[in-house]
Structure 1
């Protein structure tokens, strides 16, 4: 990417302004004692994605995990894939020449099977190509934490989430100020090798008594193309980001809170398609999220814990044609440099619910009743060949749902969660229309036979409506020129998930004050009417020369240039897909150090043909070991990640098989005092050449990154 001095100067100016303003209020105190490090046991962090009621992840009767801001700081991620790489059951698909990310949970991804939320707002952007069909844009420096629940047990958190829910919380005032601080700023600069060029993050916040607080963050990041483990430059893997985040919370009376968020991100990059082998386009992506919410909750009013949130998200991707492929395909179609293709999706929605807490005899209840609505409006404008508008068609879809859930507790040893959700959808585009609805039940039973261990079992169903693209896609593939056909008769997917697990939590296991937490779970998710793209119809011949109309082959099939045999493609329902797996997550923290472990095994196949599903990732195991020194102000450690091979790729797939690989990272974090923190990490320390499954390009070789954060605050 070309370096843009005006943005660098803007970043520097904002940084210096923040530092000057904060320093005018209070000077750092060198003698201040460094704050105690947070426990590595993130399973003790509160989660809401499983049931909408806050509880520690270790107590959730589901495959629930948390990634904390401390863990994010330690690894200094440039991609969200680095943030999620240690979460069991979760993988990502990305094109390193595009900052967009797609999340895969238990072998399910694309078209909303994983509900991605940013501050409660759905991220439903999607474009079709030789990569993921459902991505979102979010820089990891903006993330304050991640709350993940795997499987359709989380459908109370939104329609379509048969794979699970990933809820990103952007940073807030509590990420930069301690409870006794009223105003301040944190300035962070980051630098790195192998393409990791420069990061600026400026955060400011102020508390206005107990009645309100405001927070703002500015992030500027620029990356150059990187080299893989063999030292080969991977072209077009640089990009530039400018983003701003603003938040407010107003508490006009006891128990009442009004909150709002505005997140604006601008990504600029250029590439020649997924694999850098197609036509070259300059991309300008604007991804914005706005939320406005109200909540009332007070301990003395147990029947009312009311929340309502409305949101609007938009993603606008403008591609400007730069140059053609060697075949001259786009030029043959009359496309000229400067012609543009735009993808736009506007998402509007709201979520409202209330939790009433009460007792009936010896049973305690938390009864949650609510509903949600989301609409997607997709508009594709294509003056650069017509392929974009064909494969990412314009259209509209709305999803509406209502739910009821009762969390019941008895005697401290028994928990039962009974829930039901009603879903309805409507989809339209051109002359095509479709709609449908369904009720999906859920029942979970948790038993704690003795202190520290709880067993649970769940049966849950989920419902995913067909997407606009799956239903309306229609066009001719660039080369070879086969047809992709629409299917207005697609039926929604219905997931039937059986899951069981055990949660383990003990303190003072080996030494006083230590903490051990672990979650182990297994699942079988059977998806009826699973939607997959398949070949259909008879074999026919298309030209071997790009740019020649396929229509000429109706007259001379099998004769030059019409010598490539193909079939058409169409999204179809397959009777059943079955996914099974086992997940393990655990952590032990003894104060002087910590160790964590995460492991994943997933299988998935078409039940009728026994063919493995393309999106099922290989097995993975990862572990982190950290040791604390200098009165716990210095943390040194290492991460090990081992990923199995994935060789049984379905015939005809554009995704390549991958070999097994192992990665070693080293990290160090030093909290010099209350005001200054330094972080250093070496990723892929042994310069391994590898490619993550589902990705089209090799991953980076050795990368070293360093960052320093300086804080100023008043009390």
Structure 2
């Protein structure tokens, strides 16, 4: 287990590490394009989340990372959290008896602070409880890659993303067919232990000349409840998924492309509350995403690189009450088996922009102008106690914006990115309504004093409108029965982020053909009007017995059964929250193997109370070592994860303090030929019992998974 002292010095260690890496690489030859055989260095993969213009992640002047399909295949994840823990600055929060997950970037999460996209469509589903307030449903077997930019530096990527942007690309025809193949299919089966029962994935596609292609995928996953590292069964952690994905691309003429996506996911699981002690519901979740896009881009038309996309995302959760043996609260309120709660959120949106490339004197420009809008509609119906409709209220919200950005290059050593974004929001529900707008600037300067090394500095602002729940939530907590009050006067959050970093890329460092990439950055993000739930008003007494109306305590304060002192709660604007930290990501591939490292140190506090923000994760270091044998057909390796403790949790918080822990995974991949591949992974190899910070249930113990993929293709 890593010591607290070792991990608490992560900031200075990261800075020193980057300095040593820079010195070690200074004598190497820089090569703009990495070798085609390099597959472990994901920083060479293209990203668009930083500026909407394609560039390798290593060249992005921001905290940008990419997760490739090869990394996902190697890890065989059952949840995306298993992949994202290798990304610096990114953690997740999960209720283990629900396959949904929330993403935390640099200590910020919930209510849209992290903009989560699936094929460009925003995922804005949210229900309130003792877990995350803003989750999404997406099975990792459907994912072809992940593109992440941390912090409010992606000014042009939509309203609210003061924490960052995480863009998931679902699988496509290029994930199963080589450029010279016209049609084919990939069939995958996976089996495992400790609840990982069975996975079937069938993907197929065809290219119709050069003018069109189609792709489809079917996924079925069956998971059972797992056991933690002590062998204890964690109840209600199984789930069943049936999903389908369809895509098409049509190219009617040179430079023109029309694309569409339809993703349907049906999850079925039983949920016994966030701590396995609440009311028990069966959940039937349908999460669908539909997109339709158009792009025109041709090398001979430099002033036009036009993109337009419209999308529709909907998440429907139908909960059927089963029982409440823990407290009997729901039964005392007259709720009976079969009563239902329905949560529905529909998100409709569009994103339109054009990038014009031109030169003025010695300056090269990439000028991007565009706009976007998002329309959220939340509908909650509740005949099972009324708590669902109280804490996830119905309402509507519109987010709209316009932006302009200019990426300017001078020679090979100077880059400047300047941008402005205008945001407007309008929110309504019942008798309440609020609105607001703002202009947010961004300026980034990148300087490359020597080939292979580029330093950058950024100042960027972000704007997040209050969510429907934060504004309109109103009701009585089940037990103890305190009030939660609405706040129609909430002001939007405004982030002010200062960030600096260095990108390092060299080839032929220690031997011919090797590749070294590294990114490091330090940031300070001050969020004005930060929204947090807080105790308000005087102390009053409520019943100590679940199901007794709180109204009886008006005449019996302090006398049995009215003996629990409480205060009401309300979402309020904190004067300012401050988050700061340092992140490091690096990889070295020498052909016969690869090694990668990611490290994160984040601090965050409410500047008025000096109290640490609850959502700030502990320090984390992860490393992966892989070796290739048999002419690169066999890869074996290990992944190590070290997480510090988080003990300074405010009293009364539902989130638990967690101890530090270390994890070891072992993996192997064997390519029999260009048609057959086998993968094996042993997760938590030493059967460690641990609970990830922000989660209330322990994570799985020792788990083994094996998969075989068979490909059929024609040329």
After TM superposition, is the score higher than 0.5? yes
Deviations 1:157-205 (A, max 9, x none): 1100000000000000000000000000000000000000000000000
Query: After the TM superposition, which residues 272-311 of structure 1 pair with which residues of structure 2 at under 5 Å, given as runs?
Result: 272-311=272-311
Q: Quote the residue 2:351 is aligned against.
A: 351
Q: Quote the residue 1:206 is aligned against.
A: 206
Note if 1:550 corresponds to 2:550. yes
Q: Quote the residue 2:652 is aligned against.
A: 652
Q: Quote the residue 1:192 is aligned against.
A: 192
Q: Quote the residue 2:91 is aligned against.
A: 91
Contact 1:155 1:164 in 2 (8 A): no
Q: Quote the residue 2:13 is aligned against.
A: none
Distance in 1 of aligned mates of 2:376 and 2:529: 23
Q: Quote the residue 2:125 is aligned against.
A: 125
Distance in 2 of aligned mates of 1:269 and 1:76: 21
Shift of 1:324: 1.2
Q: Quote the residue 1:313 is aligned against.
A: 313
Shift of 1:651: 1.7
Shift of 1:38: 4.8
Q: Quote the residue 2:492 is aligned against.
A: 492
Distance in 2 of aligned mates of 1:389 and 1:539: 26
Shift of 1:37: 6.0
Q: Quote the residue 1:446 is aligned against.
A: 446
Shift of 1:650: 1.3
Shift of 1:155: 2.7
Q: Quote the residue 2:402 is aligned against.
A: 402
Q: Quote the residue 1:390 is aligned against.
A: 390
Secondary structure, counterpart of 1:178 in structure 2:
coil
Secondary structure, counterpart of 2:229 in structure 1:
coil
Deviations 1:104-158 (A, max 9, x none): 0000000000000000000000000000000000000000000000000013111
Query: After the TM superposition, which residues 258-269 of structure 1 pair with which residues of structure 2 at under 5 Å, given as runs?
Result: 258-269=258-269
Contact 1:627 1:635 in 2 (8 A): yes
Distance in 2 of aligned mates of 1:468 and 1:325: 32
Distance in 1 of aligned mates of 2:416 and 2:597: 29
Q: Quote the residue 2:327 is aligned against.
A: 327
Note if 1:418 corresponds to 2:418. yes
Secondary structure, counterpart of 2:299 in structure 1:
coil
Q: Quote the residue 2:428 is aligned against.
A: 428
Q: Quote the residue 2:691 is aligned against.
A: 691
Deviations 1:276-333 (A, max 9, x none): 1011000000000000000000000000000000000000000000001332111111
Distance in 2 of aligned mates of 1:236 and 1:409: 55
5+ unaligned residues in a row in structure 2: which ranges?
Answer: 1-35
Contact 1:212 1:250 in 2 (8 A): yes
TM-score, length-normalised on structure 2? 0.95
Q: Quote the residue 2:501 is aligned against.
A: 501
Q: Quote the residue 1:172 is aligned against.
A: 172
Distance in 2 of aligned mates of 1:352 and 1:58: 26
Deviations 1:79-113 (A, max 9, x none): 01011010000000001100001000000000000
Shift of 1:702: 0.3
Distance in 2 of aligned mates of 1:409 and 1:40: 29
Contact 1:37 1:633 in 2 (8 A): no
Q: Quote the residue 1:605 is aligned against.
A: 605
Distance in 2 of aligned mates of 1:320 and 1:565: 33
Secondary structure, counterpart of 1:154 in structure 2:
coil
Q: Quote the residue 1:9 is aligned against.
A: none
Note if 1:625 corresponds to 2:625. yes
Aligned-pair RMSD on alpha carbons? 0.8
Contact 2:418 2:443 in 1 (8 A): yes
Secondary structure, counterpart of 2:611 in structure 1:
coil
Contact 2:471 2:571 in 1 (8 A): yes
Q: Quote the residue 1:163 is aligned against.
A: 163
TM-score, length-normalised on structure 1? 0.95
Q: Quote the residue 2:140 is aligned against.
A: 140
Runs of 4+ in 1 over 4 A off after TM superposition: none
Distance in 2 of aligned mates of 1:536 and 1:113: 24
Shift of 1:608: 1.2
5+ unaligned residues in a row in structure 1: which ranges?
Answer: 1-35
Q: Quote the residue 2:585 is aligned against.
A: 585
Contact 1:37 1:632 in 2 (8 A): no
Q: Quote the residue 2:67 is aligned against.
A: 67
Distance in 1 of aligned mates of 2:43 and 2:495: 27
Deviations 1:49-69 (A, max 9, x none): 000000000000000000000
Distance change in 2, residues 1:106/1:172 (3 Å)? same
Shift of 1:401: 0.3
Distance in 1 of aligned mates of 2:307 and 2:48: 13
Secondary structure, counterpart of 1:156 in structure 2:
coil
Note if 1:529 corresponds to 2:529. yes
Secondary structure, counterpart of 1:225 in structure 2:
coil
Contact 2:671 2:677 in 1 (8 A): yes
Note if 1:366 corresponds to 2:377. no
Kindly tell me the number of residue pairs found equivalent between the two proteins: 681
Between 288-297 and 271-280, the greater mean CA deviation after superposition: 271-280
Contact 2:124 2:134 in 1 (8 A): yes
Contact 1:119 1:168 in 2 (8 A): yes
Shift of 1:433: 0.2
Q: Quote the residue 2:666 is aligned against.
A: 666
Shift of 1:39: 1.7
Q: Quote the residue 2:709 is aligned against.
A: 709
Shift of 1:668: 0.1
Contact 2:183 2:713 in 1 (8 A): yes
Deviations 1:647-681 (A, max 9, x none): 00012110000000000000000011000000000
Distance in 1 of aligned mates of 2:327 and 2:250: 59
Distance in 2 of aligned mates of 1:155 and 1:565: 45
Contact 2:155 2:419 in 1 (8 A): no
Secondary structure, counterpart of 2:438 in structure 1:
strand
Note if 1:463 corresponds to 2:463. yes
Distance in 2 of aligned mates of 1:622 and 1:487: 41
Distance in 2 of aligned mates of 1:396 and 1:326: 35
Secondary structure, counterpart of 1:157 in structure 2:
coil
Distance in 2 of aligned mates of 1:362 and 1:587: 35
Distance in 2 of aligned mates of 1:204 and 1:643: 40
Contact 1:229 1:690 in 2 (8 A): yes
Distance in 2 of aligned mates of 1:282 and 1:418: 50
Distance in 1 of aligned mates of 2:681 and 2:128: 35
Q: Quote the residue 2:679 is aligned against.
A: 679
Note if 1:569 corresponds to 2:569. yes
Deviations 1:593-632 (A, max 9, x none): 0000000000000011110000000000000000000000
Distance in 1 of aligned mates of 2:206 and 2:57: 30
Distance in 2 of aligned mates of 1:426 and 1:332: 39
Secondary structure, counterpart of 1:71 in structure 2:
helix
Distance in 1 of aligned mates of 2:539 and 2:431: 28
Shift of 1:521: 0.1
Contact 1:474 1:486 in 2 (8 A): yes
Contact 1:67 1:146 in 2 (8 A): yes
Distance in 1 of aligned mates of 2:491 and 2:709: 52
Distance in 1 of aligned mates of 2:687 and 2:479: 36
Q: Quote the residue 1:78 is aligned against.
A: 78
Shift of 1:271: 1.6
Distance in 2 of aligned mates of 1:149 and 1:324: 42
Secondary structure, counterpart of 2:539 in structure 1:
strand
